[in-house]
Structure 1
Amino acid sequence: MKFPESLKGLKILVLGGGISGNSALDFLISEEAQPILCDRNQPETISVPFFHDNIDPRSFFEISLIIKSPGILPTHPILSYAVEKKIPVFSEIDLGRYFF
């Protein structure tokens, strides 16, 4: 699976909002993507839409791809749903490797 050449306008779910997840959000914003953060803890300040990670995955039917934190288990319900719906899933490491 390969990243799209341009992220502009794509709705991208960032699953995991730690340090690297926040860096991924910053990068996606700089690329004019439309990132959405999904994490178990809501940040105090955030400039993108936020969902708790126990949300029903069917809420993400318009997502173009998912960027996941390395700490997210492959059995996470959102990732299982992504596989079922053929939504591409990449790690934050993949994102960095492809664009930097």
Structure 2
Amino acid sequence: MSLVDVIKYEGDNQTFVWKHPREDFNTGSQLIVHESQEAIFFLNGQALDSFLPGRYELETQNIPLLNKIINIPSGGESPFHAEVYFINLVEQMGIPW
């Protein structure tokens, strides 16, 4: 895991909701939300914030240089799970709401 992660949408334009494959982002990670998208940030299973288009710095409880020490009791896995879901807001796919 790098010191600073860049989190951005990597799916296709036909996807309505896309979950970033990585979890457990480091504090200071950069979130990039493109036009016609919204991102929702979850920390430990709780939705904490939604982000409109732009660039944001995330604050999580994962500290890059201390992760190995902090994660020893949990078998090397971070106890602080952070997830980002991207939602496409473009009208497409012929979905009637």
The alignment's TM-score, normalised by the length of structure 2, stands at 0.27
Which has the higher relative contact order, 1 or 2, with Cα contacts under 8 A spaced 6 or more apart? 2
Which has the higher Rg, Structure 1 or Structure 2?
Answer: 2
Higher helix fraction: Structure 1 or Structure 2? 1
The alignment's TM-score, normalised by the length of structure 1, stands at 0.26
